[in-house]
Structure 1
Amino acid sequence: MAFESLASRLQSAFDKLRGRGKIDEAAVNEAMREVRLALLEADVNFKVVKEFVARVKERAVGQEVLKSLTPGQMVIKVVNDELTQLMGGDVAKIATAPKPPTVVMMVGLQGAGKTTTTGKLAKYLQKQNRKPFLVAGDIYRPAAIKQLQVLGEQVGAPVFSLGDQVSPVEIARQAIEQAKEQHLDYVLIDTAGRLHIDEALMDELQQIREAVNPDEILLVVDAMTGQDAVNVAESFNSQLELSGVILTKLDGDTRGGAALSVKAVTGKPIKFAGMGEKLDSLEPFYPERMASRILGMGDVLSLIEKAQDAVDTDKAKQMEQQMRQGEFTFDMFLESMEQMRKMGPLEDLLGMLPGMNRKAMKDLKVDEKQLARTEAIVKSMTLAERSDPDLLNASRRKRIAAGSGTSVQEVNRFIKQFEDMKKMMKQFSGAADKMKKKGKKKGLKLPFGSGGATQFPTGGKGKDGLNFPFNFKPPFK
């Protein structure tokens, strides 16, 4: 999980401050020592750490904090604010040219995921109702052109290529002319990379920049390389004047040094973060939300947005009505699992909940294999059995176990859990309806949905009022 080790260290440091009725400068100094060590271990630039700790300390020992009713929480708020500023403050959106197309140069070293990220960015732009045009400008790396063409097919975006015998400068020029003719919104130029920064690489990139005058020059760097990623960003920026950075593999970066250093060192914002291998796993980088997650405050907004993208609203409403009437079936269970998977790994989703980052998740590991076995059990049932669990006698359970590659004991255990869950949903739904009626009598507006049984995991509603249809207790080990 992103920032896992850093989050753990910082939250441990602040546990000593939380709940204390009064703190003094000595307590703040002790906490700041822990913060300094945590950031240095996370491979954050030394100068950045020094300046960050100085700013936090200056604010944390001020009268506003020390004389507040909850000084420990105020110190944490100060750190949260400074972390947000360190990573860029406001969200940096991708540029939009006054007159289409918007030209984006994708630059970076080989191995950072530049070509794949170009495809992911095209997918992201399509979600914003834009029409991207992919340009195969890397004529040196074997199969780079083919890779971009495959990505273009996968996302449904056109790809421009003149082969590997035409100069990248000419390829970029002709691509922009064709994009104008076809009325496309964005031109994403995938440029060549090298294993290291050299003069030939920079000369070519500068020639492309001068020829097409891009609206964005985005550097793609591997977040897991830590301080090396920051050094690469600094070198590219000094010669190309970057407009922003895309951090790939941030989901696997437990330290977070690159994300916390790159803006402070280069002055250029992180615009996107790669949070997985799938083509829809490129996300806008939200400094405030990321700081909140690091400090264990959760990221409910991102969780809601993921749910809105993944959940079929009509199906969710229909499922809610059925559950309120006690009609939860195995088919509905499968549907819940499918929609949950669209949102991403369950551990990442749980990490977005306030208070879940460290204490609640320290020993909590999602057993993906067990989830797959559970799904196999349901898929081994007949349609009639999925609708009516009462049909599941001993011989049928034996057949289901054989079909799913599990044991009869596992099948029995799952069916028992399913029945218990069904009863719990019915009870919860009835209790929620009673509370809603009481609230109406007293003129109260309750902060949760009236039904939906065990709603995932906040028990609340998204911005459009939909109930999250994730209604099973996942198997943990």
Structure 2
Amino acid sequence: MFDSLSQRLSKIVKTMRGQARLTEENTRDMLREVRMALLEADVALPVVREVLARIKEKAMGEEVVGNLNPGQALVGVVQRELTAVIGGDLTEEERSLNLRVQPPAVILLAGLQGAGKTTSAGKLAKYLVETMKKKVLTVSADVYRPAAIDQLKTVTEQAGADWFPSTPNEKPLDIAAGAIDHARRRFYDVLIVDTAGRLAIDEAMMREVAELNTFLKPAETLFVIDAMLGQDAVNTAKAFHERLPLTGIILTKTDGDSRGGAALSVRHVTGKPIKFVGSGEKLTGFDAFDPEAMASRILGMGDIVGLVKDVTKSINIAEAEKLATKLKAGDRFDLNDFRAQLAQMGAMDNFSSILEKLPAQFQEMAGKVNDKEVQKQVRRTMGIIDSMTPLERRKPELIKASRKKRIALGAGVPVQEVNRLLKQFEQTQEMMKRMKKGGLSRMMRALGGMGLPGMGGFGGLKP
């Protein structure tokens, strides 16, 4: 997300070096660039006007202190005001789910077809089960798409929650009544209700979801919207806001939009907080919304807290500690360790979205990563290692020409791929040494040299 916006704002920093303070003249020039950047990012015009007014008010005469230049000082102002506009002026309680009601707390999901409601229902269920330790039931009131009912059942099972059955020949209100009765009798903490959507806003859809809302009296009515909608997000948000007592927003597909205008527009249009952001298809791609972290990502500063959360979700902490202890004791990093690292890399839902949370100087890598190719290459590489003997995995230096041929034959790959794997292994050994000495830049340079197929221009990048 936010590629064009980040790039324009980084240019502002470069063009304003050497000036002592923010003046009316240089602030006007910078605000013009900020305005263009926001419009190119598909931010709604009323939001652009408000953001610019707030920035101008706060920026005028601000002293440039320490090692900052005026461009950097302005970006600091922009970050603070963007944070406020997208929800930084709200308390943590206002941004979090309101489950302080008589159980079961009903969460109603509303939005257009294709926005990601059903996937978000599964992600939200997983979040509630694992993070908040709640007993969760889901139900689909979408009687127009039988596939939606089956999909909700699948994602609910994956989330570790329970699913209440429904069929296309039932009425949505009857489904809701049955689900709420079941949830009460079985003492569920939360009932998540997935509703029907349409490709566009129409009266029948809005009337149906409004009736469900009136009947269920949900603790939360969350508007699910696709981040890639851009300007259309504003009209959609207005329509739902006018017909439903929305309490918050789930912004989906944040990994697929290079502009990001919806994130800045929807909160302004509805006046409701963005509560969650989703990315990717896997249920792990779901986080509570952090306005400050989002503003930092918009400005190309990265979201290191989010990065740590994503990586922690994907890695096996016990295995990582075991490897760290081994290396600290002076033992060699071998092909068994390399395979374990590849397996953890393969478990990552969306490798490119993790890279996007790094600061701007590293984000060029994200656009060059093909996630499917990375996953495919990881599996292929693990297959080659599995064709080796235990001794070869412990002592890779034993693998010479005849052994390479045998390994290649066993894995069903050319000998060149075995050679490539061994080269990648040697480079990873070097990366482990650099990581042991510390330093993100050293680690990224070493990672850049790995050149895994599917990572495009990854190799050779020098952050």
Report the TM-score when normalising by structure 1.
Answer: 0.84
Which of these residues, 386, 392, 400, is aligned with residue 399 of structure 2? 392
CA contact (8 A) 2:111 2:225 kept: yes
Alpha-carbon distance in 2 for matches of 1:24, 1:52 = 18
1:327 is aligned to 332
Structural mapping, 1:245-324, within 5 Å:
245-324=249-328
5+ residue gaps, structure 2, are 452-457
2:15 is aligned to 16
Relative to structure 1, the CA distance from residue 31 to residue 376 in structure 2 (aligned partners, 3 Å threshold; closer, same or farther) is farther
Alpha-carbon distance in 1 for matches of 2:45, 2:4 = 18
Alpha-carbon distance in 1 for matches of 2:145, 2:351 = 36
User: Over residues 261-306 of structure 1, what are the superposed CA-to-partner deviations in whole Å (9 max), with x where a residue is unaligned?
Assistant: 1111110111111211112212222111011112121211112222
Alpha-carbon distance in 1 for matches of 2:4, 2:412 = 37
1:210 is aligned to 214
Alpha-carbon distance in 2 for matches of 1:15, 1:405 = 52
Instruction: Report % sequence identity.
Output: 45
CA contact (8 A) 2:427 2:450 kept: no
1:139 is aligned to 143
Q: Are 2:104 and 1:101 equivalent residues in the alignment?
A: yes
Which of these residues, 90, 111, 116, is aligned with residue 113 of structure 1? 116
Alpha-carbon distance in 1 for matches of 2:119, 2:367 = 34
2:355 is aligned to 350
Alpha-carbon distance in 2 for matches of 1:333, 1:217 = 46
User: Over residues 388-420 of structure 1, what are the superposed CA-to-partner deviations in whole Å (9 max), with x where a residue is unaligned?
Assistant: 213212111122334445543443344245335
AA partner of residue 130 (structure 2): K
Q: How far is the alpha carbon of 1:256 from its aligned partner?
A: 0.6
Q: How far is the alpha carbon of 1:472 from its aligned partner?
A: 9.5
Relative to structure 1, the CA distance from residue 342 to residue 31 in structure 2 (aligned partners, 3 Å threshold; closer, same or farther) is farther
Q: How far is the alpha carbon of 1:56 from its aligned partner?
A: 0.8
AA partner of residue 389 (structure 1): P
CA contact (8 A) 2:122 2:283 kept: yes
Alpha-carbon distance in 1 for matches of 2:425, 2:65 = 52
User: Over residues 167-198 of structure 1, what are the superposed CA-to-partner deviations in whole Å (9 max), with x where a residue is unaligned?
Assistant: 21222122112112111111011112222222
CA contact (8 A) 2:22 2:63 kept: no
CA contact (8 A) 2:284 2:349 kept: no
1:433 is aligned to none
1:168 is aligned to 172
SS at match of 1:205: helix
Q: How far is the alpha carbon of 1:318 from its aligned partner?
A: 1.4
Alpha-carbon distance in 2 for matches of 1:98, 1:459 = 50
SS at match of 2:322: helix
SS at match of 1:143: helix
Alpha-carbon distance in 2 for matches of 1:217, 1:37 = 34
Query: How many residues of Structure 1 are paired with residues of Structure 2 in the alignment?
Result: 441
Relative to structure 1, the CA distance from residue 234 to residue 378 in structure 2 (aligned partners, 3 Å threshold; closer, same or farther) is same
CA contact (8 A) 1:123 1:279 kept: yes
CA contact (8 A) 2:142 2:148 kept: yes
AA partner of residue 167 (structure 1): K
CA contact (8 A) 1:319 1:332 kept: yes
SS at match of 1:187: strand
User: Over residues 334-372 of structure 1, what are the superposed CA-to-partner deviations in whole Å (9 max), with x where a residue is unaligned?
Assistant: 2222223434433332332334355x6498656726555
CA contact (8 A) 1:131 1:186 kept: yes
Alpha-carbon distance in 1 for matches of 2:18, 2:398 = 54
More off after superposition, 66-75 vs 33-42: 66-75
CA contact (8 A) 1:334 1:375 kept: yes
Relative to structure 1, the CA distance from residue 204 to residue 377 in structure 2 (aligned partners, 3 Å threshold; closer, same or farther) is same
Relative to structure 1, the CA distance from residue 362 to residue 152 in structure 2 (aligned partners, 3 Å threshold; closer, same or farther) is closer
Q: Are 2:389 and 1:382 equivalent residues in the alignment?
A: yes
AA partner of residue 175 (structure 1): A
Relative to structure 1, the CA distance from residue 75 to residue 320 in structure 2 (aligned partners, 3 Å threshold; closer, same or farther) is same
1:36 is aligned to 35
Q: How far is the alpha carbon of 1:380 from its aligned partner?
A: 3.0
Q: How far is the alpha carbon of 1:423 from its aligned partner?
A: 5.7
CA contact (8 A) 1:303 1:352 kept: yes
Alpha-carbon distance in 1 for matches of 2:326, 2:275 = 42
2:436 is aligned to 453
1:411 is aligned to 418
CA contact (8 A) 2:101 2:219 kept: no
Relative to structure 1, the CA distance from residue 415 to residue 196 in structure 2 (aligned partners, 3 Å threshold; closer, same or farther) is closer
Relative to structure 1, the CA distance from residue 250 to residue 67 in structure 2 (aligned partners, 3 Å threshold; closer, same or farther) is closer
CA contact (8 A) 1:249 1:276 kept: yes
CA contact (8 A) 2:274 2:289 kept: yes
Q: Relative to total residues, which structure has the larger helix share, 1 or 2?
A: 2
